[in-house]
Amino acid sequence: LNVGQARIWFDALFDGGGLNAADAGQRAGVAEAWKGTAAKVAVRDFVLGVCKRAATKAEKALATGTGSDAVPAALGFEGTLSSDDISAAMRS
């Protein structure tokens, strides 16, 4: 890694207290830090791969994107829905 890439990587993992893969900016930072050679791209793909988790049914219903590697789903909502949440959504 060059100095700039190493700084992005260090900031994402250590200064920020961890990587929030739900944040598009942080995913972009990982992609920026690990680009270039095939070995770096393999690290990027591995890191982004282990950051994935299964979405709940509510998260899937409210997400955008396909959920593929090329177009990952962007969560508009994260967590579980209560009956009050559903009622409020139906009224709006």
Pure H helices in 1-92: 3-10, 24-33, 38-50, 57-62, 83-91
Q: Give tens-digit pLDDT for 21-63.
A: 778 888 888 888 888 899 989 988 888 888 888 888 888 888 8
Q: Which of these ranges, 1-10, 25-34, 42-51, 83-92, has the smallest mean pLDDT?
A: 1-10
Domain residue spans of the chain: 1-52, 54-92
pTM confidence score: 0.61
For 41, the token pair is: 């791209």
